[in-house]
Amino acid sequence: MTEATWGDDAQNPAIGWRMSAALENVPRGDSDVAEVTNLAGAVREWLTLDPEHQRSAVLTPEHPVTLDGVSHDTLTGETIATLAERLPAA
């Protein structure tokens, strides 16, 4: 039997900040190679980008991330910004 979860925890399960994630569509010198790191590192890298590159960036976590009750396989723009608000202190 599965126990039901109610409230904020049901809509926002814990985020696996250590899972692998790829940050794509951002400048990397002369190449366009995705940076693969953990989710926390990718979000911190996104925060350092200028607004234009933040808008074009694509973040793909190893497993879907649930934000406000919605599961995301990939994140862009404002969705990454929402995830960044939940980033734990370094």
> Which residues have CB under 8 Å from 10's CB, separation 6+?
4, 69
Task: Answer for the pair 24, 60: CB distance below 8 angstroms, yes or no.
Answer: yes
Helix (H) or strand (E) holding 38: strand 35-38
The confidence score (pLDDT) of residue 90 equals 75
What mean pLDDT, rounded, does the chain reach? 86
> Which residues have CB under 8 Å from 72's CB, separation 6+?
61, 64, 65, 66, 79
| Domain limits, the chain | 8-85
Instruction: State pLDDT tens for residues 28-37.
Output: 777 666 778 9
pTM of the model: 0.82
